[in-house]
Amino acid sequence: MAVSVTTVSNDKDLMRFIKLPWKLYRDDPNWVPPLIMDQKTLLSRTKNPFFEHASVEYFLAHRDGELVGRIAAIHDRSYMEVQRENVGFFGFYESIDDQSVADALFAAARAWLAERDVVAMRGPTNPSTNDSLGLLVDAFDRPPVVMMPYNSHYYPRLFEAAGLVKSKDLLAYWLAEEKMKIERLDRFVDLLKKRHSLTLRPLNLKKFDEEIDLVKLIYNDAWEKNWGFVPWTDAELEHLGRELKPVADPELVMFAYKDGDPAGFSLSLPDLFQALIHVKSGRLFPVGLLKLLYWQRRIDQVRVLAMGIRTKYRGLGIDALFYHRTFRYAETKGQQRGECS
């Protein structure tokens, strides 16, 4: 039978949209189930401040009465204004291995964007370039690290057959202790600090609101020329801060100063996905929280999630200071490998 695509129109539909990956990945040992409560917040037009400057429509694909796919069409007005591109986005794509399903989902998203006079579609963004984005095209043999995308191996084939072409390579770099020569940096970073009057400090949780303002100052300067850049709004940064605060290690969130002036920012996170992969239900209660707490103590890797240096302070080696301090501290926590992405 033909594939039918409908919009998500109520809470029941939204829960089916959220729960579809449990069906698709039930036999995939590398898939990390998201927390359902987090997915509800992420997709909420009222709780997620991203939607203050963006519109979205969620679609479900059915065949023979069975749910076989999903997609979101995203119209980000802030992106179009900043990047001066008439581009819309798609995200949260999931489907069975069937080209007719993929074609129907992409057609629905394109048609919705075309109604808003958008001439091109890019993705996946979930929901924006400041969130999880991109399509996994390699390394299907390992779980993703925290806040990185994961998808089945057949997705690239479906996307290309549907007429999508690559827009940008998004690269991830894997580092393991046995391959790092971090001791070579020990003396080098001391010389850098003295030569350029550089200092580092960790996140101060007691002044969290002030720290968020400092992140915004650095981010909107350091990332301005990056591909896909969209500045965070105050509401988005506050929301992100609330989401990350419970899981962030203050020593892995650091600021650099040049002669006392804010120069850069680095954010790394313990790889919480190493614990979440054991919470198969996606729910913390009744037993998910116990599993999370148990496996959280066994996390042995990190992700360098964001790093940026203000334009006027580039070329001073501040990035080396960030990496050195991140890896040296992670060692003390038993975290001996990680991803920079």
Q: What is the mean pLDDT of residues 291-318?
A: 95
- In degrees, rounded to 5, the angle at the alpha carbon of residue 328 between the alpha carbons of residues 204 and 326 is 50
Q: What is the CATH number of the domain that holds 297?
A: 3.40.630.30
153 & 283 share domain: no
How far apart are alpha carbons 123 and 133 in whole angstroms? 7
* pLDDT tens track for 109-168: 999 999 999 999 999 999 999 999 999 999 999 999 999 999 999 999 999 999 999 999
> Is residue 256 scored above 80 in pLDDT?
yes
Select from 104, 138, 169 the last residue of a domain: 169
Taking a C-beta distance cutoff of 8 angstroms, is the pair 49, 235 a contact?
yes
> Residue type for 326, please?
T
> Is residue 241 scored above 70 in pLDDT?
yes
> Is residue 244 scored above 90 in pLDDT?
no
308 & 204 share domain: yes
Total structural domains within the chain: 2
* pLDDT tens track for 269-304: 999 999 999 999 999 998 999 999 999 999 999 999
Beta bridge partners of 255: 201, 265
Count of beta carbons in the 10 Å neighbourhood of residue 298: 10
pTM of the full structure = 0.94
Taking a C-beta distance cutoff of 8 angstroms, is the pair 135, 155 a contact?
yes
286 & 141 share domain: no
163 & 210 share domain: no
* pLDDT tens track for 56-90: 999 999 999 999 999 999 999 999 999 999 999 99
| The pair of three-digit structure tokens given for residue 335, joined into one six-digit string | 């975290």
With both helix axes pointing from N to C terminus, report the angle between 208-222 and 234-244 in degrees, rounded to the nearest 10: 120
The domain of 28 spans 4-169
